[in-house]
């Protein structure tokens, strides 16, 4: 109903209903601001509260069971519709969403244009005056469209969003929606600003109007500042700029604070409250991430692999849970205090209670410096000196983030397609499956095909990170595993091929304290985050009421921009005061639970025991993934041939296809999935396409 209200808001009958609703609620302590907030932002918060209640009431196992496919069938989220285009691979559900947004924009523009023409025609004005009046009215209407787009803009970028977790959309997928909405929102706001600029220029008062900052009504100068900050973010977020100058993109994107603060000053509190719900949820998430990232985590070990990839093993609290397809944001303070980089977790949550692992490929300046720092520590023979070198790598972590449910366990049949370092999350999947089989936990997959394309054969050393004999020596009767690797830039095995999987030294970092990742984020913990969101929301409403009762009303404040500033201040204060109190209690609860575990010496001993077998990587004679691999040189995967073979051998079943790699690889696999699903031949599998790739 909330979406329908926004969609049909341009219609006269909806506006009439909205005006009557405002009249009935305007006498409350919150006034018109509270009414607008309740109508447009309230539903988002209510849906969030219902999501919290549902996720808490539903046990994790029951939630996962509802995600399993009962029989082969079509699913909107996993059926690729558009493959080649500016949006990348688009599923049927995403296509429907894009079409609805386009229809809303076009419908709104047409309706508003007709209404503006009717209004202008009521006045007997010269054509010149009609033109700039029409432009100003169009700018006003287009600005309202931008506010409704803004109401959705921050929802996908909220990493721990309960709404996204309920419908099981992980952050790496939602990032795309934020990008699309960002482009759309800035196009609308830019058009909104241009309409006014042209109208003011036609009247010869452009500079005067742009510098205007009036108390009653819209203040123009804050709008100019807000739009300027938005344009800077927009321009630097375009793909060519973001790819070549990522740091410029990252730093200018922090102007979002300037953007929405000055937007509140521009339109005032009651108009800003249209989009305030999504912004408030984003700020809640941002403050929680800030609190989590203040804590540094111990590095248990680090390894520089022959392929130029660095493996870091990070200490985590025992109660921090995640799924095999999760990822973290990592900051190394010796390299940069501002840069955060996302990495897929390469270890299974069942692999160890006190650690998780990530594989980091050296691709840029930041990763090169990280490898150099790790190499210096790894190569240092003097243990005492190694202890002194330990501060070279001080890690802070945000996350882990990911799917609410381990969706790789939804399918009995899996095809995992990776390009280069894209194998990292699939190592976590395979390790998770092996651990589940060995522990006799529920594990649906029984047919797994891994297709991995790499440039050089030295990258195959990544497969030796999993020693199957030590995890699940009797997996062969319960899991049919096939691994096909394709070396694209070599036509034959190198002479040193036998040395690819030789033992490699792992550097252990001395653990002098019990620093672990903060447990403020996890994919299963719902109670404390729920309390945090609800208490902050109640605090926000309380602060708004107190501000109105003890400050706005007694002093007779009517300035729009100042009330907008107070509105934003109440949002920030509620998060810091009420949300901060919950974070403190949450942290104390986590420390108490940690205190109930073994002491630090036992914890360190546990970590060392877990990694004792990993002091060196397995050699070529042990049962590793590498020893189960068939390798082809000088060619790329032929997905038509691969999917045809799978179709013939697996029959009429659901097949989960997960891709992690460059866009060209995603497109090739998506095309094959779409082609075979459209044909829909009898006794053929139904391929469900899932992407695990994303860019910031």
Instruction: Give the best-scoring range by mean pLDDT among 12-21, 207-216, 301-310.
Output: 207-216
Using alpha carbons, list the distances in angstroms from residue 261 to 71, 184, 265, 498: 50, 20, 7, 61
For range 323-350, the mean pLDDT: 84
Token pair for 426: 């699939």
The three state secondary structure string of 6-29 is: HHCCCCHHHHHHHHHHHHHHCCCC
The owner of tokens 């199957």 is 468
**What pLDDT score was predicted for residue 439?**
79
Please confirm whether the linkage preceding 521 is cis (ω < 30° from 0): no
**What pLDDT score was predicted for residue 200?**
94
Q: Which letter does DSSP use for residue 39 in this model?
A: I
Cα(33)–Cα(54) distance, integer angstroms: 30
Cα(487)–Cα(31) distance, integer angstroms: 67
Instruction: Give the best-scoring range by mean pLDDT among 280-284, 365-369, 590-594.
Output: 280-284
Cα(30)–Cα(38) distance, integer angstroms: 10
**What pLDDT score was predicted for residue 70?**
61
Listed in sequence order, the residues at least 6 apart from 365 whose beta carbon sits closer than 8 Å to its beta carbon are none
Token pair for 21: 């609703």
Cα(124)–Cα(129) distance, integer angstroms: 10
Is it the case that residue 524 has pLDDT exceeding 70? no
Question: Measured in whole angstroms, how far is the alpha carbon of residue 491 from the centre of its chain?
Answer: 39
**Contact call for residues 497 and 457 (beta carbons, < 8 A):** yes
The owner of tokens 């800035």 is 186
Each residue's pLDDT tens digit, 395-411: 888 888 877 677 788 88
Please tell me the chain's helix, strand, coil percentages from 3-state DSSP, rounded to the nearest 5.
60, 15, 30
Each residue's pLDDT tens digit, 529-549: 999 999 999 999 999 999 999
| Residue, of 405 and 449, whose pLDDT is higher | 449
Cα(545)–Cα(550) distance, integer angstroms: 9
pLDDT band at 603 (very low <50, low <70, confident <90, very high): very low
Which helix (H) or strand (E) element contains residue 187? Answer: helix 171-203
Token pair for 349: 């949550």
For CA atoms 558, 559, 560, 562, give the dihedral sign.
Answer: negative
CA 297-303-304 angle, 5° bins: 125
**What pLDDT score was predicted for residue 671?**
93
Strand partners, 82: 90
**Contact call for residues 288 and 160 (beta carbons, < 8 A):** yes
Class of domain 296-378+390-493+507-517+638-691: alpha beta
Cα(298)–Cα(600) distance, integer angstroms: 13
Each residue's pLDDT tens digit, 124-164: 878 888 888 999 999 999 999 999 999 999 999 988 888 88
How do 296-297 and 395-401 pair as beta strands? antiparallel
Nearest to 39 by CA among 280, 274, 276: 274
| Residue, of 342 and 517, whose pLDDT is higher | 342
Is it the case that residue 103 has pLDDT exceeding 90? yes
Each residue's pLDDT tens digit, 13-22: 887 777 777 7
3-state SS class at 467: strand
All CATH 3.40.50.80 domain ranges in the chain, comma separated: 296-378+390-493+507-517+638-691
Nearest to 22 by CA among 268, 217, 271: 271
Q: Which letter does DSSP use for residue 307 in this model?
A: T
Is it the case that residue 512 has pLDDT exceeding 80? no
How do 447-454 and 413-419 pair as beta strands? parallel
**Lowest mean pLDDT across 28-32, 41-45, 677-681:** 28-32
The owner of tokens 């941002």 is 286
Is it the case that residue 622 has pLDDT exceeding 60? no
pLDDT band at 220 (very low <50, low <70, confident <90, very high): very high
For range 191-202, the mean pLDDT: 94
| Residue, of 524 and 452, whose pLDDT is higher | 452
Please confirm whether the linkage preceding 400 is cis (ω < 30° from 0): yes
pLDDT band at 614 (very low <50, low <70, confident <90, very high): very low
In a 10 Å sphere around its CB, with 0-12 CB exposed, 13-18 middle and 19+ buried, how is residue 670 labelled? Answer: buried
| pTM reported for the whole predicted model | 0.88
**Contact call for residues 480 and 359 (beta carbons, < 8 A):** no
pLDDT band at 9 (very low <50, low <70, confident <90, very high): confident
**Lowest mean pLDDT across 9-18, 112-121, 273-282, 507-516:** 507-516
**What pLDDT score was predicted for residue 379?**
54
């Amino acid at each position: 109903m909330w979406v329908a209200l926004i969609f049909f808001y341009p219609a006269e009958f909806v506006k009439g209903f909205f005006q009557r609703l405002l009249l009935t609620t305007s006498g409350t302590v919150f006034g018109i601001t509270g009414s607008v907030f309740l109508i447009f932002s309230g539903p988002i918060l209510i849906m969030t509260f219902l999501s919290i209640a549902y996720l808490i009431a539903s046990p994790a196992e029951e939630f996962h069971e509802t995600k399993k496919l009962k029989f082969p069938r079509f699913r909107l989220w996993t059926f690729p519709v558009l493959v080649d285009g500016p949006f990348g691979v688009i599923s049927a559900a995403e296509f429907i969403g894009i079409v609805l947004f386009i229809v809303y924009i076009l419908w709104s523009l047409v309706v508003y244009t007709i209404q503006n023409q009717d209004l202008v025609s009521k006045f007997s004005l010269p054509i010149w005056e009609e033109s700039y009046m029409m432009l100003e009215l169009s700018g006003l209407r287009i600005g309202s469209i931008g506010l409704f787009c803004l109401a959705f803009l921050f929802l996908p970028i909220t990493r721990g969003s309960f709404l996204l977790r309920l419908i099981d959309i992980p952050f790496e997928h939602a990032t795309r929606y934020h990008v699309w909405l960002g482009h759309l929102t800035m196009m609308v706001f830019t058009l909104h600003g241009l309409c006014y600029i042209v109208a003011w220029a036609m009247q010869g008062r452009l500079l005067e109007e742009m510098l205007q900052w009036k108390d009653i009504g819209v203040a123009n100068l804050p709008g100019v500042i807000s739009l300027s900050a938005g344009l800077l973010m927009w321009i630097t977020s375009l793909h060519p700029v973001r790819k070549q100058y990522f740091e410029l993109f990252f730093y200018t994107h922090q102007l979002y604070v300037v953007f929405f603060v000055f937007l509140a000053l521009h339109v005032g509190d009651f108009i800003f409250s249209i989009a305030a719900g999504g912004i408030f949820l984003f700020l809640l998430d941002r403050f929680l991430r800030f609190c989590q990232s203040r804590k540094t985590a111990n590095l248990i070990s680090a390894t520089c692999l022959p392929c130029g990839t660095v493996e870091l093993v990070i200490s985590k609290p025992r109660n921090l849970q995640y799924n095999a397809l999760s990822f973290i944001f990592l900051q190394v303070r010796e390299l940069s205090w501002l840069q955060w980089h996302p990495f897929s977790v390469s270890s299974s949550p069942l692999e160890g209670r006190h650690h998780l692992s990530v594989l980091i490929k050296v691709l840029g300046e930041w990763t090169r410096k990280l490898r150099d720092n790790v190499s210096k520590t790894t190569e240092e023979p003097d243990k005492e000196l190694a202890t002194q070198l330990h501060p070279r790598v001080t890690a802070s972590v945000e996350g882990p983030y990911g799917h609410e449910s381990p969706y790789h366990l939804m399918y009995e049949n899996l095809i995992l397609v990776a390009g280069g370092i894209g194998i990292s999350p699939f190592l976590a999947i395979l390790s998770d499956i092996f651990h589940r089989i060995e522990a006799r936990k529920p594990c649906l997959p029984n047919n797994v095909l891994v297709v991995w394309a790499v440039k050089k054969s030295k990258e195959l050393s990544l497969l030796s990170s999993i020693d199957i004999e030590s995890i699940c020596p009797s997996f062969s009767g319960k899991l049919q595993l096939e691994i096909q690797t394709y070396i694209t830039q070599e036509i034959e095995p190198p002479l040193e091929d036998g040395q690819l999987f030789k033992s490699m030294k792992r550097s252990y970092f001395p653990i002098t304290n019990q620093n672990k990742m903060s447990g403020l984020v996890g994919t299963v913990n719902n109670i404390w985050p729920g309390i945090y969101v609800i208490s902050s929301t109640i605090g926000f409403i309380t602060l708004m009421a107190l501000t109105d009762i003890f400050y706005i009303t007694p002093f007779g404040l009517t300035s729009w921009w100042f009330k907008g500033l107070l509105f934003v201040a109440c949002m920030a204060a509620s998060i810091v005061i009420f949300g901060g109190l919950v974070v403190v209690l949450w942290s104390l609860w986590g420390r108490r639970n940690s205190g109930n575990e073994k002491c630090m010496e036992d914890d360190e001993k546990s970590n060392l025991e877990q990694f004792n077998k990993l002091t060196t990587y397995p050699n070529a004679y042990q049962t590793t993934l590498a020893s189960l691999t068939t390798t082809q040189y000088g060619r790329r995967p032929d997905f038509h041939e691969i999917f045809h073979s799978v179709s013939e051998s697996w029959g009429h079943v659901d097949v989960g296809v997960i891709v992690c790699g460059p866009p060209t690889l995603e497109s090739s696999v998506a095309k094959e999935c779409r082609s075979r699903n459209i044909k829909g031949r009898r006794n053929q599998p139904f391929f469900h396409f899932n992407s695990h790739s994303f860019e910031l």
